[in-house]
Amino acid sequence: AKEDVLSLKHSYSEQIAQFSHREAKHQKELRTVRSNEHLKSKRLLELEEIAKQVAVLEKQLSCAQKEKRGKDRQMLSLQKEISRLKNESRHKDNQLTKVADANKVFPVKMWEQDRKLLQNKMDNMKAVIESKDRTIEAQRKRILELC
């Protein structure tokens, strides 16, 4: 009977050791699962933050594209005005040449003043266009840097 008791005791000790081993293994797995859940939650928050940043950048890009289209239209308008002024200048030049040929007198001072005014207008328009081009390029670079 003593051997049976010792045998049972030994059997129970083995079962308890196995149970303790399994329990430790389950606890370790549970900690791993909790850790993974925590990391998953953290990653989801990070993804949400990135999604918000992307939405902001997309909105900025959309605004910049609208602004660029507006500036492109304005630049086209300025180019048309430059072309119109150049045509007007050629027309005046032709008229002055005809008058000079007819009168054999060429009003140089008046022609020079018109030409300088026209040149100033054209230079101002070119400066406006170049300034807008630089602004658009800077905005493009800023958007690309943000992306």
pLDDT at 18: 95
Scan for tokens 């026209």, then name that residue: 118
What is the rounded distance in angstroms from the CA atom of residue 143 to the CA atom of residue 135?
12
Q: Mean of the pLDDT values across residues 100-126?
A: 76
pTM above 0.75, yes or no: no
Task: Confirm if 71 and 138 have CB atoms less than 8 A apart.
Answer: no
Instruction: Count CB-CB contacts under 10 A for residue 141.
Output: 10
Q: Nearest Cα to 75, choosing from 137, 132, 134?
A: 132
Q: pLDDT class for 146, splitting at 50, 70, 90?
A: confident
Q: What is the DSSP letter of 119?
A: H
Distances (CA, A) of 20 to 7, 14, 97, 120: 20, 10, 112, 93
Task: Tell me the pLDDT tens digit for each residue of 2-21.
Answer: 888 888 889 999 999 999 99
Query: Looking at this protein, which amino acid is placed at residue 20?
Result: S
Residues in the chain: 147
| Mean of the per-residue pLDDT values of the chain | 88
Q: Total structural domains in the chain?
A: 1
The boundaries of the domain holding residue 96 are: 2-146
H or E element, residue 16: helix 2-103
For the stretch 114-124, pLDDT in tens is: 788 889 999 99
